[in-house]
Amino acid sequence: MSDEANKGLLSPLRRKLLMGMAAVPAITMLPRASFAQAPATSAVNTTGLAVTDTEVTVGILHSATGTMAISETGSIEAEKLAIEQINAMGGVLGRKIKFIQEDGASDWPTFAEKAKKLLVNDKVAAIMGCWTSASRKAVLPVMEQYNGMLYYPTFYEGLEQSKNVIYTGQEATQQILAGLNWIAKEKGAKTFFFIGSDYIWPRTSNKIARKHVENVLKGKVVGEEYYALGSTQFNSVINKIKLTKPDVIFTDVVGGSNVAFYKQLKAAGIDLAKQPLLTISVTEDEIDGIGGENIAGAYACMKYFQSLDNANNKTFVPAFKKMWGEKTVIGDVTQAAYLGPWLWKLTVEKAGSFDVDKIAAASPGVEFKGAPEGYVRIHENHHLWSKTRVGRAKLDGQFELIYETADLVEPDPFPKGYQ
């Protein structure tokens, strides 16, 4: 074992001397092809991470308790599935992935504390985690201070870019613009009514949407309303909708509020088959709570639907259901969380090292062809190139794919002209 490992170490050194820097990318190929399955730990881990000859430890940091548990459970499940699949294929650089799960308890400072614990105490090689923007904002300074690597799954507001984070969900412009273009063209929409939960993501998303509607689509925003997180009274805004009669209702209401919102919308006699509604916050997970009959006909704009018809997704969905039960549904964020461990594995193999600095540098250009959403690639800004799709909600709680962008959409976390 150690003999083989030494060869693995010597060989790249000799190569380096002979061929200079040009041969560096080949290092990762060589040991795997000709010598040991696993390169020596001292070579792939120079910063004291929790990597042994047979194992590498990563952290999973989501809310297993508290109000966000309902949303984050899917992410935990997806990450565990990905880790199991990677281990079944032989692990990363010949090492099995072991995970330490911590509970953020829907409490942002707890997230920061646990992230610090994972990095400082457990020396994890990467963390798959966070869900809300608030939890990410709390964890980010910790990741940067202790030089960790975070794979963050949620679609989010953008305006952020860090060496220590890979954003596997879409940032706001990626998600929103294609959907607005589509609905403007398809439905001839000119007037929009925005409804959101009152925090940073809906506010930023609506800011971007407003600029796009006014400057690019030459339309008009006839109303913009925000409701506190957890709010359940939407009657006044529904009355305003009835008065202003917008061509499109554009919503980014999150969490449990959705249940009340769509039920009251239906009770007020607004038929989503006739009144176009575009949401960027309702995935299959939320429909589970809202009930398909209350939201059928609404359009959702994101990058993944469980019903996607491609070969990757056809193996992913059954594997997920086999592990977590027939009744589970898979939403956009769950799929993005599934990408995290895979992208990390591919990046580690590209870098030939578990070192965070090397992974951060190697990330741009890493592509994952097995993604359930089809194909993704990491951009220089650590976000993903991905397609944007529009689906229509059906009675059974699934989305029917209506439209997808022809090409991958470039992530642009600091969009010019939208700030």
Tell me the residue ranges of DSSP E strands in 291-344: 299-302
Residue 167's SS3 state is strand
The CA distance from 348 to 7, in Å, is 20
Question: Which window, 101-109, 250-258, 296-304, 383-391, contacts another protein (CB under 8 A)?
Answer: 101-109
Residue 77 is a binding residue for another protein (CB under 8 A): no
- Between 11 and 73, whose beta carbon lies closer to another protein? 73
Q: Closest separation between CB of residue 49 and another protein, Å? A: 16
Length of the chain equals 419
Nearer to another protein, 139 or 360 (CB): 139
Least distance from another protein to the Cβ atom of residue 199, Å:
5
How far is the C-alpha of 204 from the C-alpha of 207, rounded, in Å? 5
Which of residues 72, 79, 102, 355 is near another protein by CB under 8 A? 102
Compute how many other C-beta atoms are within 10 angstroms of the C-beta atom of residue 69: 17
Residue in 379, 375, 397 with CA at minimum distance from that of residue 305: 397
Which lies closer to another protein via its Cβ, residue 58 or residue 277? 58
Residue 203 interacting with another protein (CB under 8 A): yes
Whether the CB-CB separation of 126 and 60 falls below 8 Å is answered with no
How many whole angstroms separate alpha carbon 64 and alpha carbon 240?
Answer: 38
User: Cα dihedral sign for 99, 105, 111, 114?
Assistant: negative
Interface pick for another protein out of 112, 165, 346, 393 (rule CB under 8 A): 112
| Neighbouring residues of 41: CB distance < 8 A, sequence distance ≥ 6 | 5, 51, 52, 53
Tokens found for residue 13 = 């050194």
Cβ neighbours of residue 206 closer than 8 Å, sequence gap 6 or more: 194, 196, 224, 250, 252
**CA 343 to CA 197: how far, in whole Å?**
31
3-state class (DSSP) for residue 67:
coil
The minimum distance between CB 149 and another protein, in angstroms, equals 18
The single residue among 15, 16, 32, 116 that binds another protein, judged by CB under 8 A, is 116
The only residue of 9, 30, 70, 159 in contact with another protein, by rule CB under 8 A: 159
When asked if residue 113 is in the footprint of another protein (CB under 8 A), the reply is yes
Comparing CA positions, the residue from 365, 368, 384 lying closest to residue 170 is: 384
Answer yes or no whether residue 101 interacts with another protein by CB under 8 A: yes
Q: How far is the CB of 67 from another protein (least distance, A)?
A: 11
Report the residue number, 105 or 409, with the smaller CB distance to another protein.
105
DSSP 202: H
From first CA to last CA, the distance across the chain in angstroms is 56
Among 36, 39, 83, 108, binds another protein (CB under 8 A): 108
228 touching another protein, by CB under 8 A = yes
Q: How near is the Cβ of 333 to another protein at its closest, in Å? A: 18
Exactly one of 77, 79, 103, 373 binds another protein (CB under 8 A); that residue is 103
Shortest distance (Å) from residue 108 CB to another protein? 5
Q: Which of 37, 54, 65, 244 binds another protein (CB under 8 A)?
A: 65
138 binds another protein (CB under 8 A): yes
Per CB under 8 A, does 414 bind another protein? yes
Contacting residues toward another protein, per CB under 8 A = 64-65, 101-103, 105, 107-110, 112-114, 116-117, 120-121, 133-134, 137-138, 140-141, 145, 157, 159, 198-200, 203-204, 207, 228-229, 414, 419
